Amino acid sequence: MNGSVRIGRVLGVPLRVHWTVPLLVVLFGYSLGAQTLPAWLPDRSNATYTAAGLVGALLLIGSLLAHEAAHAIIARRKDIPVQDVTLWALGGMTQMGKPRTAGAAFLVAVGGPLTSLVVGGAALGAGVGLNALFGWAVPAAVLVWLAWVNFLLGLFNLLPAAPLDGGRVVQSVIWWRTGDRDRAERAAARSGQVLGFLLIAVGWISVLRGAFGGLWLMIIGFFILVVANAERRQAGMASALRGVRAADAMSSPVETCPDWLTVERCVDDVAMPARHSTLPLIDFGGRPSGLVDLSQLARTPVSQREELRVRDVATPLSQCTTCTPDDLLEDVLESIRPSRSGIRILVTEGGLLVGIVTARDIARLVQRHSLRGTDSGPNNDADNR
């Protein structure tokens, strides 16, 4: 997710935190310390309320992390690759590959909400115990609040609409009953679209009635709607790419640029007359060595273009996605995360570059599938990157 930074690893999985997480801590810390606790336990000091609110907000972040960690643990046990876990203002997201079976999809989906419910139950029990045994009213109230939030989080995530975990559960059940994964994904995405519209409508009505908490519902509904729309498109793309090899999608022949050229010569002799915005680089042996696009060339200061080689400003091959012509495109796409420059896959054979697959190549396949129901065959049109 753009705007997030990596801060470490959790259970071997990279952990990223979005810039909105501090806002989440402030929001919930203020709500707990300035509103909830004074209503539950009046006549405490402001310092007590502030400290308790901060601790409660941090415990909530920890419970969100536990929710996402459960998804990641189950996914890895089911041999599903997990790229990272990201915490942000609306909770968290676990970036992972697609489950291979409906059963694995079901277990990964229910793991998060069940963890939230378990955390809620543990917090409630601890809060009641602290109050009964030691009379620690403030810590007990914080734990009871944490339990309530986790119960709400777990139950909300079980709503049968993607991208919520409940939508994943519905998707896995439909997949199991019908054997049609694409149909299951489309059904879950449609339910997400419906839920998004409903939350936006309810939030708007609440705002009109003076309840400004409805803005939060509208934000959540908008997020669900956007992601559900994206997942419905993704489901259509997966159907179009089923069984398609990289050779059937790649653009070939490919315009290339020698990596030993200076940036200035690359701009004048190659980039300016080229029809494409992305140029694979080749070394002296004719082997691919990286990728450069117009934005990278444009960012190079004019004063340095006579000195720098184009390979110095390009993306090296080690950071590029490569595959062979016979690799299934769906598997290749599942293993990568598109960069800001979009999808760019170098197709190599015997160490030599034979083609490139970009987002436009894939979009064309999807369009052909929607028109004809199947891929129309290999694509050798390179004039669309």
Per-residue pLDDT tens for 242-278?
A: 888 999 888 888 889 999 999 999 999 998 888 888 8
Contact 318, 295 (CB under 8 A): no
Residue 150 and residue 123 in contact, taking contact as beta carbons nearer than 8 Å:
yes
Lowest-pLDDT choice from 69-78, 192-201, 361-370: 361-370
Residue 59 has pLDDT above 70, yes or no: yes
Please report how the helices 137-157 and 46-77 are oriented relative to each other, as an axis angle in degrees rounded to 10: 40
Confidence band, pLDDT 50/70/90 cuts, at residue 13 = confident
Q: Which residue has the higher pLDDT, 246 or 365?
A: 246
pLDDT at 169 over 60: yes
When pLDDT is cut at 50, 70 and 90, the band that residue 35 belongs to is very high
Q: What is the mean pLDDT of residues 302-327?
A: 92
Burial class (CB in 10 A: 0-12, 13-18, 19+), 83: middle
Residues 25 and 58: beta-carbon distance below 8 Å = yes
What amino acid positions are annotated as catalytic residues? 68
Before 325, cis peptide (omega within 30)?
no
Return the structure tokens found at 59: 């415990």
Pick 305 or 338 by higher pLDDT. 305
Ranking 22-36, 100-114, 369-383 by mean pLDDT, the lowest is 369-383
Question: What pLDDT does 341 receive?
Answer: 56
* pLDDT at residue 52 greater than cutoff 80: yes
For residue 81, is pLDDT > 60? yes
In order of 92, 163, 296, the CA distances from 306 in angstroms are: 46, 50, 15
Is the pLDDT assigned to residue 144 strictly greater than 50? yes
Quick one: average pLDDT of 298-326? 92
Region of poorest pLDDT, from 135-144, 194-203, 258-267, 350-359: 350-359
Residue 374's pLDDT is 44
More confident residue, 78 or 383: 78
DSSP string covering 205-245, please? HHHHTT-TTHHHHHHHHHHHHHHHHHHHHHHHHHHHHTT-B
Domains (range + CATH), the chain: 4-158 (no CATH), 246-372 (3.10.580.10)
Q: What percent of the chain has pLDDT over 70?
A: 94
Better-predicted residue by pLDDT, 351 or 335: 351
How confident is the model over 322-338, as pLDDT tens digits? 999 999 888 888 777 55
Cβ neighbours of 105 (radius 10 Å): 24
pLDDT of residue 239: 76
Note the pLDDT of residue 381: 44
Instruction: Write down the mean pLDDT value for the chain.
Output: 88
Highest mean pLDDT among 38-42, 81-85, 370-374: 38-42
| 60: amino acid identity, one letter | L
Q: What is the CA angle 218-115-60, rounded to 5? A: 55
At residue 249, the pLDDT reads 86
